[in-house]
């Protein structure tokens, strides 16, 4: 029993030392977590997820284009399976896709930062920030729906027509 107690005590001492060794990393992670769970950080993560979904659906639409060019069946499942082949055959260029992703994130951050500054100047209730969030999320949603339509999900046509009609020609 004494041996077990000594082993537990030694493990506790070792854990305390290792916690102090990585304290700066943990403090940085805690700060990042605090930002990420705040409203602006949460919105940025949500936009990053929307952009990733948009990127995946773009891959699906380019895979569908490859399948159609080869007169192969191009259902959603075939498009998903065919993404690797679309990369191999040059339909999807990873450098271009990475640039688009990074560019969108930077653009969104700049636009949202500007909206925050306008709200601060106007002493408003985040009106411009919310408008920017809605607009950016809406354009990502439309892009995702268009990509899925291009990947063969034709049932999205009425939704896209409705959105364009109601929003006055938004992308």
Q: Which of 41-45, 120-124, 139-143 has the highest mean pLDDT?
A: 139-143
Per residue in 42-57, pLDDT (tens digit) is: 777 788 888 889 989 9
Are 42 and 36 contacting, i.e. CB atoms less than 8 angstroms apart?
Answer: yes
Q: Pick 100 or 24 by higher pLDDT.
A: 100
Place of tokens 């999807």: 92
Residue 130: name the closest of 120, 140, 115 by CA. 115
What average pLDDT does the segment 52-81 reach? 93
- Segment (H or E) for 150: helix 127-150
- Does the pLDDT value for residue 88 go beyond 90? yes
* Averaged pLDDT for residues 88-92: 92
Q: Are 80 and 63 in contact (CB under 8 A)?
A: yes
Whole-model pTM: value is 0.71
């Amino acid at each position: 029993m004494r041996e077990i107690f000594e082993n537990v005590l030694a493990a506790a001492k070792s854990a305390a030392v290792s916690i102090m060794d990585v304290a700066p990393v943990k403090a940085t992670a805690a700060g990042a977590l605090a930002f990420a769970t705040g409203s602006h950080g949460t919105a940025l993560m949500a936009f990053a997820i929307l952009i990733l979904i948009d990127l995946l659906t773009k891959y699906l639409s380019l895979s569908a284009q490859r399948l159609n060019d080869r007169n192969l069946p191009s259902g959603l499942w075939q498009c998903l399976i065919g993404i690797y082949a679309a990369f191999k055959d040059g339909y999807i260029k990873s450098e271009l896709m990475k640039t688009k992703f990074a560019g969108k994130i930077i653009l969104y951050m700049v636009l949202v930062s500007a909206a925050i500054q306008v709200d601060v100047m106007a002493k408003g209730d985040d009106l411009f920030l919310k408008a920017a969030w809605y607009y950016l999320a809406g354009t990502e949603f439309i892009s995702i729906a268009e990509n899925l339509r291009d990947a063969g999900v034709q049932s999205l046509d009425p939704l896209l027509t409705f959105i364009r009609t109601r929003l006055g020609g938004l992308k």
